[in-house]
Amino acid sequence: MDVKEQLQHDLEYLRLMRIKEIHEEAARESSEKNLSHIEYLAKVISEEASARFQRSVTARIHQARFSVIKTVDGFDFNHPENINKQQILKILDMDFMEDKKNVIILGPPGVGKSHIALSIGYKACLKGIRAYFTTAIDAINYLRASIADNTFLKCMKQYTGPRLLIIDELGYLPIDKEGVMRQL
Mean pLDDT (whole number) for 174-183: 54
Higher pLDDT, 92 or 81: 92
Q: Where residue 83 falls among pLDDT bands split at 50, 70, 90?
A: confident
Q: Per-residue DSSP letters for 13-58? A: HTT-HHHHHHHHHHHHHHHHTT--HHHHHHHHHHHHHHHHHHHHHH
Is 163:129 a contact under the CB 8 Å cutoff? Answer: yes
The pLDDT of residue 164: 97
- Residue range 140-163, pLDDT digits in tens: 999 999 999 999 999 999 999 999
d(Cα 182, Cα 176) in Å, to the nearest integer?
Answer: 10
Q: Which residues contact 12 (CB under 8 A, 6 or more apart)?
A: 20
* Alpha carbons 23 and 7: distance in angstroms, whole number: 10
Residues 154, 167, 175: CA angle, nearest 5 degrees: 100
pLDDT of amino acid 180: 52
Q: Give the tens place of pLDDT for each residue, 93-138.
A: 999 999 999 999 988 888 899 999 999 999 999 999 999 999 999 9
The pLDDT of residue 74: 81
- 171: confidence class by pLDDT, cuts 50, 70, 90: confident
96, 166 Cβ separation under 8 angstroms: no
Distance separating alpha carbons of residues 148 and 146, to the nearest angstrom: 5
Does 176 have pLDDT greater than 70? no
Domains of the chain: 3-64 (no CATH), 72-183 (3.40.50.300)
- How crowded is the C-beta side of 106, counted as CA atoms within 13 Å? 2
Residue among 182, 132, 179 nearest 160 (CA): 132
The yes-or-no verdict on residue 16 having pLDDT over 90 is: yes
Q: Is the pTM of this model over 0.75?
A: yes
